[in-house]
Every structure is written in structure tokens, then in C-alpha cells.
Amino acid sequence: MTQMLEPMLTEFREEAAITGRILEKVPADKLSWKPHPKSMSLGQLATHIASIPGTFARIGQSDEFQVPPLGFEPRAANNLDAIHSEFRESVQAAEKCLSAMSEETARGTWRLKVNGKEILSKSRVDVLRKLMLNHWYHHRGQLSVYLRLLEVPVPVIYGRSADENPFA
């Protein structure tokens, strides 16, 4: 691993722990619940969050990504064990990817394409940092709102929540 990626790997590990705490709060009997008809179900959202690090790893090992013509259809795991298992495997894949990445690969160009047309070209490290990690954090925040709407205690993320106070 390069010195350039050490801070990202440290951040990833810290954020994975936070994400794991939130995924632990997902109620098994509410996986089909949606806050709005246009929203993902709780199960879809939790599964998506669990799988993002694995996507992070696949993107990190490729030079481009072709957006599927039919768009993204989030899948939902049938149970919490599947979500937690996917999360563990996904985190391991991302850690392995970051740990093995050379500086040359990290600085290499990565492209996003739609119907064969390039719509984004950035360094791989920029894509992993800005698109994948920020994407992960965005959906994790969304999940914390779902939990609140379901009256599930929201765990500590960066400081106290209305339900937990690490400073008390």
C-alpha cells in the first residue's frame, strides 16, 4: 500500500465500524418497509449499504465502469444474516483492494461510461474517495433517518445521537 492510500484505508476502517453499528440496528421485521413509494425499502437500502465496499473494491480494480442500460435496481436481502454477511465480505474486499493498490494504479485514470460514451474521467483515487466513500456516507445517513422514522434508537455516528451519548 502506498502512503497516499494509508489515510483512506484508516478512514475506511473507522467508517466501516460506524456503518456496522447502524446495520446492527436494522429491524428484521421491517425489511420491506418504505418511507415513501419512490424510496428504497429498508432491506434494499441496508443491502445497498452493505455492498458498497465490495463495489468500491471492484471499481478499484478496473479502469472503467459501464452504467447498465436499465439503471440501478437495488436488491434486498431476505434477512439480516445475509446483510451482515455481505457487509463483512464487502469490507474485507475493499480493505484488500486498498492495501494492495500501487500508487501508479491509484493515480491511474478511471472512466464512467453510459452506452459506450465516456461521461466521467478521474484518477482512481478520486473516484474511490469522492464517489464511493461519499456515496456510502450519504446512504448511511439515509438509513439513520429510516431508523428514526421506525422509532429505532439511532446509534452514535460522529457524536451523540438523541438516543446514545458517548460523552456521558
Domains and CATH numbers, the chain: 6-149 (1.20.120.450)
Q: Output the CA angle 131-40-83, nearest 5 degrees.
A: 75
Cα–Cα distance between 147 and 23 in angstroms, integer? 10
Looking at every residue in the chain, the average pLDDT score rounds to 92
Cα–Cα distance between 47 and 80 in angstroms, integer? 9
* pTM confidence score: 0.92
Burial of 7 (0-12, 13-18, 19+ CB in 10 A): exposed
pLDDT of residue 59: 83
Q: Measuring CA to CA, which residue among 109, 139, 117 is closest to residue 22? A: 139
pLDDT tens for each residue of 78-121: 899 999 999 999 999 999 999 999 999 999 999 999 988 999 99
Cα–Cα distance between 128 and 118 in angstroms, integer? 18
Q: Which residues partner with 114 through β-bridges? A: 67, 117
Helix (H) or strand (E) holding 110: strand 109-114
Confidence of residue 167 (pLDDT cuts 50, 70, 90): confident
- Phi, psi angles (nearest 5°) of residue 113: -125, 145
Reply yes or no on whether the pLDDT at 1 is more than 60: no
